[in-house]
Structure formats: C-alpha cells, structure tokens
Structure 1
Amino acid sequence: MFEGTILDLPQDQRILLGQRYRNCLYHTAQAAKWIGLIYIGIRFLLMLSTSERNWSMWTMLLLEAFFIHLCRKEQSLAILATKNPERGPRKRLRLQGDKGLPHVDVLLPCCGEEIGVILQTVKAACTMDYPESQFRVLVLDDGGSSLLQKTISDLQLRWPHLSYNSRGRQSGQVFAKSGNLNYALTNLQREFQPEFCAVLDADSIPTKDFLRATLPHLLMDPEAALVSTRQYFSNLPTGDPLSQTREHFYTCQNARLDILGNAIDSGSGAVFRRQSIVDVGLYPTYSFSEDWQLSLLLRGKGYKTFQVDEALQFGLVPTSLAGHIAQRKRWNIGHAQQIPAMLSWRNNEISVRLRLSIALNGLGIIVEEIGCFLGFAVVPLLLLCGQRLIPTISPSALVLQLGLSFVMICLSWAYEFVQTASTGHRSAAFALLENKWLAGSNIYGIMRFYLVSAKPKGSFVTGSKENSYNWSNEYSLLGGLYRDLIENGIIYSLIQVLAMILSVLYALMIIASTEDRPMSAIFVTVAWPPLLHIFILGLKCHSVPIRYLFDPPRYPDLAELKTEKVSRQNEVIQETLKGMHEASKHILRSQTRIELRDELLT
C-alpha cells in the first residue's frame, strides 16, 4: 500500500453544482424507464388482442420499442450510478513529494505522424512534474523513421530518460498500436518492469501534472487496474458541429461507469498497472478498438477501471469530414471484430462467460447502428402509408395509448434536461444519437471490410495515410462537393431529410383535403405522437452533415495556436503591468482548456 502523501483538491465547481440534481436525476430516470416499459408492454398486448393488424402497426411498434430501448439503457445506467448516495464523482487528487514514488514507463506509439506533432508530445511528456529517475519516455515508432530516430537521439542529451524504439516499418499485419504496445510491455521491459505504464497518442500532449493526477487513483485502490483520462482537443472548431469531443460519452456514460468502477478506456491518456495488463494477456490484437476491448477484459477479470474528467491531455481531432467518418468507421469495425473473435477457438484462454459478454457487447453496438439506420429510414414510409399505426379496439384503448405515449415522451425530455444539469456541462437533448447519421456509412464500412477489403483483418496502423488526422482538405470546389455528397455520404442524409419533410407535407395535404375525417383518425396515423417524436429526432440527427455542407467549420492549425498563444501572453503581460496582484490571481485561477493548452505550447 502506498504510504506517500496524496492531496485532495477542491472539486470542479460545475460538478458540485451538478450534484444538486443527483436525486432528481435518479427519480426522473426511474419514472422514464418504467413508464416506457409499461407503455410498450401495453402496446404489445393490444396488438395481440386485435384482428386488424397490418405491417405498419408492427413496424411502428418495433420502431417505438427500439428507441425506448436506447433511452432505457441510458436511464438504467443513471439509476445504478446515482442510487447509492455514498458514490459520487471522482475526486481530484495530487501525488505530493518526490520520495518513494513508483516507477512509470510513458509509452508513446506512433507511425507516420508529422515529426513536429510527435515532438510536441515528447517535449511535454519528458518535462512532466515527476522525478526523472522514476519515469522513462519510450517513443515506439512503427513508421521506422530515421529522421525521428536521429531527433530523439539528439534530445536524449537533454532528457536522458527518453529513448527511441522501433519494430521497423509496419504495414498493419502485426496488429499496429496493440502490437506496438505489447512489444514495449514484453521486449522493451524484459529487464526492468515498472509498476505502472502510461499511454499517449502521438498527438496527445499531457499536462505537467498528468502523472501526479492519475497515479493516486491506482495507488489508493489495489483492485484498480487502469485510469483513463477524458480527451480534450486543441484544434476544435467553434461549436464542435460534428460532436468530436464525445462530451456525452465522457460526461454521462463513462462518468457513470466510472462510479461503478467499470469505465471504458478511451485510448490516449491511460495509466495502468502493468501486472494487471499482463494478467489478461496484454493488449488484445483481434480488434481495431484495442482500448475498448482491454477495458472489457479487465472488467471481466474483476479489475476496476476509472475515468478522470480533469483536463490532463490535449489531442488533435481530424480536420476533415472524411477523416472524421474514417475514424468513426474504424471504431465500429473494431466493435464488429469483437463478435467473431470471441466466438473463435483461438481465444479459448478467455472464459466462455466473458467471451459471450464481449461478443454481445459488440453485437449490441452494431445492432444499434442498424436500428438507427432503418428506424429513421422507415419514418417517411409510415407517414405516407395512410394506414393506422396503432390498434383502436375501443375509444378507451385509444385514449390509454395516447395518454401513455404523451407521458412517456414528456418524461424522456425531462430526463434529458435533468441529465444535462446533473453533469454541469452543456449538452444537447438526446445526445446519445450524436453521429448516428453515420450509421449507414458505418454499416457499409463493416460489410466492405469483411466482404471486399483486401487489408489485413488485424489493426490498422494509426499513422501515415491511415491516420484520419492526416487526411487532406485540399479539393477544388466541385471536387469538394462531390467528395462530401458522394464519398462522405451526405447525399443520404440530404435524401433522408427531404423525404421526411415531403412525406409530412403530403400527409398534411391529404388530411386537409378530407373534410369528414375524425380527429381520432389523424392521431392514429400521421399525428401519432411517438412517430412525430422520432421524426424530430431524425431531422435533428441528419441535419448535422447538411449544415456541415453549407457551413463547413474552420479548424485552427498549429501555427494559429502558437500565434494565439503569443497574443494571449502579451495580454497577460499588459495585465501584469497594470496590476501584478490581480494578474497573478487571474493566472492561478485559470484552469480552462485554453490556458492549459497555451502552457503546453510554450
């Protein structure tokens, strides 16, 4: 057990404010979950009791059941995370002093990224606030770059705890990032095994106190195997139109999994207990999403995994739509790889129960993609079919279904608003559907990967042309339009939105031309509340790439970030001349991403 000093820092004010809604979130989630289940149960029983069933009724029932299932998963997780008052947000901890600190290897896998990007990370990693005798920085170059090797060799004179390592130039057949990390954990650590290891992507710059902020969570809990840190980014465009921050995942889903000790490793910025990773067979090599799979294996073996929400690293997002789509597609292919891998005899060393759990996890993610793609696609068909969408056995049955559907939708929205308030972060309602406009592209990518692609079925290399960060934005006007509409699939979202709007207008025209149509007939067809709700969610979801087409975001490059840094430094100097005391207080209080990023770019 660690006997050093660990300081407990004041909690983030936003998180403290969000905790005021903890009980409200719990009760709202309970109400929304059970009303949804009762509603869909009654709808199913009424379907069975009528003889006038048709395809549109069954389709509507399945559509409602699917979206209720998506919401129920979120609500159930919120209930589990908030029902125990003793469990709360993760504390902000800092390791104090320089004596008795554990040894750490900082692993920096790379493959073809820009030298300048890699060196920014190397500099930040080497100058972290941690005794140089207690940590090493291992650059793991799968690109076999002689220039990078020479540069790192020169930097060793300044930072002797830095080293360059390479398996030679790789092309993907040796499991890329997972194989690179396993090479470090075995070959490079054969003579000396540190107690802990940290992983940083080539473009993820750690803050000075990265190790001092993450290690305490592992030192204080012997059952903890891994601490993942939330990913922040330096080059986000204003408004984050493509939801590249994954804020909903970090602040809602993974934050609650963290409370349960089951957080998912998001890749870069992870710190883990080396022996725990060795115990589960090192990094999995059967999937592109090796970080996600590692988390599932650790969880299945009884280890705890945590997430720290603090801004402790800053990476770079893909600066093109094609790069963003490729990144998301690669993640989903990785989830699809879970299924055959866990059903294969090659993984017999993993227990049957754990293999089944991992396979079902991957299947669930892929089914959700298929469900979102088909779910939004059938909305125009249901609006145009002109048939009743629910059974109307009696007036009371109609009123019951209408009333319950209205209450269910209201509670779903109430839950979304309370959830946003409880996180302390700004988040859109039903953010669980963010990037679901990519469902069709992801499904196509999975099918193409297994049926057409000649690429190896192991992990891709993460640098060079395969690295979505390196995808170019340089196209002519017509070339860019073709790329976005056809290659990036915006044409599908455009067709989807037009079909939904035109189908509603057509249905309204039919209603207006029918004088004797009773109001009840309208409510069971085009104005059925759950159908209109899903219609609104579909428009919201598929409008994202269309807005991108007409108003593409502008991503700042590294040169602009440095210019902004100099400008901000000049502002601080002016403030200092006006009043040293007030300026000092301002700097000490500055803990936002921008101030921390500026510090790293110095």
Structure 2
Amino acid sequence: MSIKFASMSPDHVYEIDELPLDERTLRGQNHRRTFYRITQAAIWIAPLYFTARLYFLLRALSPTWKMWAMLGIECLFAHMSYQHQAVSLSAAGSSSQASRKRLRLRNGTSLPTVDVLITCCGESVDIISDTVRAACSLDYPASRFRVRLLDDGASTELRDEIARLSMTWSHLSYHTRGKQSNQSFAKAGNLNYALFSLQSEDPPEYCTVVDADSILMPHFLRATLPHLLKDPEAALVTTRQYFDNLPRGDPLSQARAYFYTCENTELDLMGHAVDAGSGAVFRRKAILDVGGYPTFSFSEDWQLSLVLRGMGKRTMQVQEILQFGLVPTSFAGHLKQRNRWHIGHSQQVSVLFASAKNAIPQHLRWDIATGGLSIMAGLVTYLIGFFAIPTLLFVEGDLFPSRSSFEIKSQVVLAILYVASTWVYNWSRSTHAGVPFMPLAHTENSWLAPAHLYAVFQFHLFGGKPKGSFVTGSSVNCRENASPVKLFPKIHKDVLESGLWLNLSLFASLLCGTLFSLQTLVGATGPLIPRVLSSIAWPPFFVMIISTFYNHWTPISHLLNPPVYPSRASGLMVTESKVPYSSANIQTDHMYKVSMFDRTLAFGLPIVLLGMLVGVLTL
C-alpha cells in the first residue's frame, strides 16, 4: 500500500510505499506475547533457585570451598543471562512498538539531499572502485545525492581512479586529510572532517556512512530514508551487515547473525538499535548536535549510538538485504578485528576524562563508562568460567550439600527448572526473531574472551596506538587476510601469535577433567544417581561443560579443517555499465542455518534434563 505524510519541513510531502513484511518478521510478531511470558518466567525462576541454593548451603554442616565456588560461578553466568533477559522483557513488553516495517521512498519533486561518505585507508583500489561504482549508481536522483570518497591513505592511484570515474558520475568526488594510517580514532576523525569541514558549505540533510568494502544495493536510500522521514525524533538508521565471502556454515560466526536478528532487533523495538558501522544513514543535524562522531574509542559507531540514545534520540535497524561487505579471511584477521572492537569498549571509561566530555552530559558519560566496564566484566566472567570448570572436574567432592534425600531432590529439581527456563528462553528468543533455534548462539565467539582481555591489557599498558589499520581488506592487513602457502608459518601464526594455544590447553584440560570425574564416579561407593547428580551431572554444571566444549572446539575445528572463503568475484554480477552487485544466490545463503550438532543439542538437552528429573524422583 502507499501512504503520504508531511516531513519536518512543511514545504515537502514525501510519498512512501509500505511493503509486506517478510515471513521471518511475521513469525516473530506472532510469538511476541508468548516470548514475553517465557522471559518473565525465566527472570522469576532464577532468584527462587539461587535463594534455595544459598539457604541449603548456609545450613550445611561443613560446606566445602568447591560448593561455594560452584555457586559463585553459577551466579556470574546467571547475571549475564539476566542482562539478556531484561532487554528481551523490555522489548517484548513494548506492545506499542511494531516490528520494523519495509518502506520505499517514491519519486518526488524534491527528495532529501544525501551525502554518501565512503571511508577508506589503504584498501585495494579494486575493492574501493567496486564500492564507489555501486554507490554512484543508487536508484536516486543524481542531483539529490553526492558520493564523497574520504581517503585516509592519501593514495595517488586511488585519487586518479576516482578522477576517472567522476567523468562518468559527476556527483563523485575525492577528499583526503593526508595519510592517517596507524592513527588512533582515524575513522571517526575522517567522518568528522566531512561533517564539519567538507559540508560547511551546501550541507546535505542526511548522510550515509559506507565502508570501503561494502557494496550497496540500488534501492538502499529508498529503503532507509523513509524510516527517518517518518520519525522526527529518529537520528540514525543502521542496516544489517551481509557478506559476499562468508565460508559455508560460517564456522567463526563472522556474520554476527545472532546479534542482528535477536539482540539488535530487540533494541530496535525500544528505539535503541546499535549502529553497526557501514550502511548507517543519519540526520546530519542530529549528529552535529552531539558533537559529531566520538573520538574517545575505536568503536565510534557503537559509541555514537550510546550518545544519541542518551540525548533522547531514537536509533533504528533495518533487517533487509541492503549491502554486502567482506569478512577477514584468516583466523588472525578475525581475531584482530574482534580485538579492536573490545579495545574500543574498554576505552569507554576514557569518556570521563576525554575532551569529548564537554559535548556529553555528565550522567551520560557515567552510563557509557559503566557500559564499557560491563562488557569487560562479561569477558572476565567467561575467563573465570573457562578456567574454573576444568578445575572443579579435577577436584573430588559434591557440588552442593546433600545431607538428605529431600535436600538432593529439592536442589536438583530446582536446578532442572532453572536450566530448563533458561533453555526455553533462548529457544523462544530465537523464535521471536524468526530464525531457527541454535542453542548456544548467544555465546558466539565467547572462546575469544581470553584473547580479548590479553589484547586490552597489552594495549593499555604497552601501546596507545592500533597496530595496522584494522580495516578489512587493507594492504596493511594483507598478511592477516592472505592464506599462507606453507603449513608451519600458518600454524605458528594461528596457534602461538593468535593465542589458539590457550584454547587448545583449555579444551584438553576440560576433556581430561571430564574423564577424571567419570573415573572417580566409577570407583566410588554408594548409590550411583546421587553421586552423578552431585558432580558432573549437576544440571547447571553439565550445561557449562557442554558450552565450554562447544566454544573451544570452534577454533580447533577451524585449525584442523580451515574453511574455504569464496572470492568476491564469484558472487558478483556486473552490469553493462560495469557496476557490481551481489547475486541472488549469495543473498539466500545468508539465512540462518542450523547444523546437525545444533539440532542434536537443541533436542538432546531437554531429554537429558528429563532423565535427570526421573532419576532424582526415584531416590
């Protein structure tokens, strides 16, 4: 259907088509109320369970340190689960907020003016050229948008290439501040240079930020601008990241599918979606009002979202397929990219002291700082758990006090109820997002927690500048993205330099600890069921063991069977005017897929929990 409305300017009326929602979004809407109730139940069951656990532990005659350690680890992971559930509850309870509609801006006499800002710093000229061609060919009047290439690499070759392309597209121009490679906060500075210097004369109403390796679909502006035009309080709309070169199965979770479909979709319902970087469209005045892009952190897109939210502005996410980028094609490149993001989160504390604080209210500065500390605390939680779980397996003794059959039954039944409620919540969250259920998707890349903490520690104590450009496809990072020909250099880089040795060690210790615990059970005397349930089969501990195995097997599997990254060229269609676009089969390959292991885990754990329940009730 087609709707008309007046924009913020009374002189302009824009005509917008509202397209039917896709099947995935419709499925999510149908489950929203059920999801809300399941989340409420999970939140209420947790304190009931931990109150009972603490009660039985306090009244135990001689509680061991192992019992207290188990309770402490459970509390740490429960807090992380609660943070997810609290967001889900707020989002699902927002009955006034409908799922993000699919909109299209139709032709008009005077469409909004837009600057497409392409940031680059040392990437291949061929990659940038593809991005520029697609941006210049957007389905939008050429007189109403400009494409500005912002080159922090000061490449003469690139400047000449843009000059050649500008003979075809007159709305394309090249700009540089000089060579900024290896400079801290270079991307934020590059964007602020455009906002405050290049646009000082003839400023556009809206801007789009595009990474050097992101190819925009022709309808990009017509699909994103309507969301800002309809809502005067909306400052920014971000688009989901899709990629041309993902390997089959996405073994390293590089697509961040869970984040986009579950976490950011829920934040979108509350008007707090996190800017994902490339493909963001924003109201220029709103960004200028908050002082431009923050320069106190490497994760300038994330920080901008927090600042806009704190200033009362809404940020949104569009799930449609509107752009395709590239992921790092090596283990080292993937690790380097993720480390940069977490170093950026650790820098959020610096907002309390940085010069940027003059443009940010004090209460908001504290919110940003504590948010960064919370993310770091999550990494510490995973690190503690990864080391504590094998340790507890090697230590003999019960994980909870069991003076009587009543105590055993009460605690095990409550533990099963607690684990089941969390499991059902994760299943329901996935269903609410309209994607197949992957039981441990919420822990994706948690195996990188030790590496992230090491990178944060090393950065703050031994260096104040990033090493390399941190830009996918950059020539500075070519050695991370190229697959070594020789086996031993690759193993050295992946195992030693990238920290995979730690994951190998943890996986081996967990495997040995599990075998030791099973051997201890076989050699012990007394009833088997109570001994099993009070040790390795203690429901929360059992799930932690599975999760740890699952997470640390990810990088090992990557080492033993490296994925094949398809070339971008294999998935591109080039028009007669030499404009590249991603082909339809690449687009369908980005849907959420569930492996056989995930299916087994999804249905296997409820069966195991049911067996535990039957076993404890027979005591």
- Do the structures match in fold with TM over 0.5? yes
Letter in structure 1 aligned against 2:382: C
What's the CA shift for 1:72? 1.7
Within the candidate set 61, 86, 89, 1:76 is matched to 86
Matched, 1:416 2:409: no
Query: What do residues 200-229 of structure 1 show as CA deviations (whole Å, max 9, x unaligned)?
Result: 000011110100100000000000000000
Match of 2:380 in 1: 370
- How far, CA to CA, are the matches of 1:443 and 1:151 in structure 2? 41
* 2:211 counterpart SS class: coil
Within the candidate set 134, 140, 163, 1:153 is matched to 163
Aligned length: 574
Letter in structure 2 aligned against 1:62: G
What's the CA shift for 1:493? 1.6
* 2:14 counterpart SS class: coil
1:151/1:353 CA distance change after superposition, 3 Å = same
Match of 1:32 in 2: 42
1:279/1:442 CA distance change after superposition, 3 Å = same
Matched, 1:308 2:318: yes
Aligned residue runs from structure 1 range 397-408, under 5 A: 397-408=407-418
Match of 2:587 in 1: 594
- How far, CA to CA, are the matches of 2:117 and 2:480 in structure 1? 22
- How far, CA to CA, are the matches of 1:244 and 1:429 in structure 2? 17
Match of 2:125 in 1: 115
Match of 2:20 in 1: 10
Match of 2:495 in 1: 485
Match of 1:429 in 2: 439
Query: What do residues 540-585 of structure 1 show as CA deviations (whole Å, max 9, x unaligned)?
Result: 11110011111110001133334xx58x99xxxxxxxxxxxxxxxx
1:595/1:370 CA distance change after superposition, 3 Å = closer
What's the CA shift for 1:433? 0.6
Could you tell me whether the CA contact under 8 Å between 1:288 and 1:458 is conserved in 2? no
- How far, CA to CA, are the matches of 2:232 and 2:491 in structure 1? 54
- How far, CA to CA, are the matches of 1:310 and 1:9 in structure 2? 12
- How far, CA to CA, are the matches of 1:522 and 1:56 in structure 2? 16
Letter in structure 2 aligned against 1:157: M
Within the candidate set 511, 533, 552, 2:543 is matched to 533
Query: What do residues 30-69 of structure 1 show as CA deviations (whole Å, max 9, x unaligned)?
Result: 1112111221232233333345233212211111112212
- How far, CA to CA, are the matches of 2:171 and 2:27 in structure 1? 42
Match of 1:600 in 2: none
Matched, 1:54 2:40: no
Match of 1:142 in 2: 152
More displaced 10-residue stretch of structure 1: 41-50 or 234-243: 41-50
Matched, 1:63 2:90: no
Query: What do residues 404-460 of structure 1 show as CA deviations (whole Å, max 9, x unaligned)?
Result: 100111122222222222222235213111001100000000011011225369996
Match of 1:204 in 2: 214
What's the CA shift for 1:135? 0.5
1:595/1:380 CA distance change after superposition, 3 Å = closer
1:174/1:362 CA distance change after superposition, 3 Å = closer
Could you tell me whether the CA contact under 8 Å between 1:149 and 1:164 is conserved in 2? yes
Within the candidate set 90, 106, 111, 1:101 is matched to 111
Could you tell me whether the CA contact under 8 Å between 2:123 and 2:473 is conserved in 1? yes
Could you tell me whether the CA contact under 8 Å between 1:110 and 1:463 is conserved in 2? no
Match of 2:395 in 1: 385
Could you tell me whether the CA contact under 8 Å between 2:94 and 2:269 is conserved in 1? no
Aligned residue runs from structure 1 range 431-446, under 5 A: 431-446=441-456
Matched, 1:545 2:555: yes
TM-score, normalising length: structure 1: 0.91
1:191/1:369 CA distance change after superposition, 3 Å = same
More displaced 10-residue stretch of structure 1: 351-360 or 222-231: 351-360
- How far, CA to CA, are the matches of 1:174 and 1:187 in structure 2? 20
Aligned residue runs from structure 1 range 209-220, under 5 A: 209-220=219-230
Within the candidate set 128, 131, 141, 2:138 is matched to 128
1:158/1:465 CA distance change after superposition, 3 Å = closer
Letter in structure 1 aligned against 2:197: N
TM-score, normalising length: structure 2: 0.88
1:315/1:394 CA distance change after superposition, 3 Å = same
1:454/1:342 CA distance change after superposition, 3 Å = closer
> Structure 1 residue runs of 4+, over 4 Å off?
343-346, 456-463, 465-470, 590-593
1:508/1:447 CA distance change after superposition, 3 Å = same
Matched, 1:89 2:99: yes
Query: What do residues 139-177 of structure 1 show as CA deviations (whole Å, max 9, x unaligned)?
Result: 000000111111111111111100000001113436210
What's the CA shift for 1:259? 0.5
Q: CA RMSD in A?
A: 2.3
Match of 1:511 in 2: 521
Within the candidate set 311, 321, 328, 2:338 is matched to 328
- How far, CA to CA, are the matches of 1:48 and 1:294 in structure 2? 46
Within the candidate set 184, 194, 201, 1:191 is matched to 201
- How far, CA to CA, are the matches of 1:429 and 1:342 in structure 2? 38
* 1:364 counterpart SS class: helix
- How far, CA to CA, are the matches of 1:253 and 1:468 in structure 2? 32
More displaced 10-residue stretch of structure 1: 497-506 or 318-327: 497-506
More displaced 10-residue stretch of structure 1: 327-336 or 543-552: 543-552
- How far, CA to CA, are the matches of 1:431 and 1:343 in structure 2? 36
- How far, CA to CA, are the matches of 1:78 and 1:469 in structure 2? 41
Match of 2:600 in 1: none
Match of 1:229 in 2: 239
What's the CA shift for 1:519? 3.8
- How far, CA to CA, are the matches of 2:215 and 2:113 in structure 1? 20
1:390/1:470 CA distance change after superposition, 3 Å = closer
Could you tell me whether the CA contact under 8 Å between 1:26 and 1:82 is conserved in 2? yes
1:89/1:141 CA distance change after superposition, 3 Å = same
1:96/1:346 CA distance change after superposition, 3 Å = closer
- How far, CA to CA, are the matches of 1:468 and 1:69 in structure 2? 40
Within the candidate set 457, 479, 483, 1:473 is matched to 483
- How far, CA to CA, are the matches of 2:589 and 2:144 in structure 1? 24
Letter in structure 1 aligned against 2:109: K
- How far, CA to CA, are the matches of 1:155 and 1:345 in structure 2? 39
1:349/1:561 CA distance change after superposition, 3 Å = closer
Query: What do residues 119-156 of structure 1 show as CA deviations (whole Å, max 9, x unaligned)?
Result: 11100100001111110000000000111111111111
Could you tell me whether the CA contact under 8 Å between 2:152 and 2:180 is conserved in 1? yes
- The answer for unaligned runs of 5 or more in structure 1 is 570-589, 598-602
More displaced 10-residue stretch of structure 1: 416-425 or 299-308: 416-425
Could you tell me whether the CA contact under 8 Å between 2:337 and 2:470 is conserved in 1? no
Could you tell me whether the CA contact under 8 Å between 1:379 and 1:535 is conserved in 2? yes
Could you tell me whether the CA contact under 8 Å between 2:91 and 2:267 is conserved in 1? yes
Could you tell me whether the CA contact under 8 Å between 1:175 and 1:460 is conserved in 2? no
Match of 1:586 in 2: none
- The answer for unaligned runs of 5 or more in structure 2 is 1-5, 8-12, 577-582, 591-619
What's the CA shift for 1:348? 4.3
1:425/1:456 CA distance change after superposition, 3 Å = closer
Matched, 1:269 2:279: yes
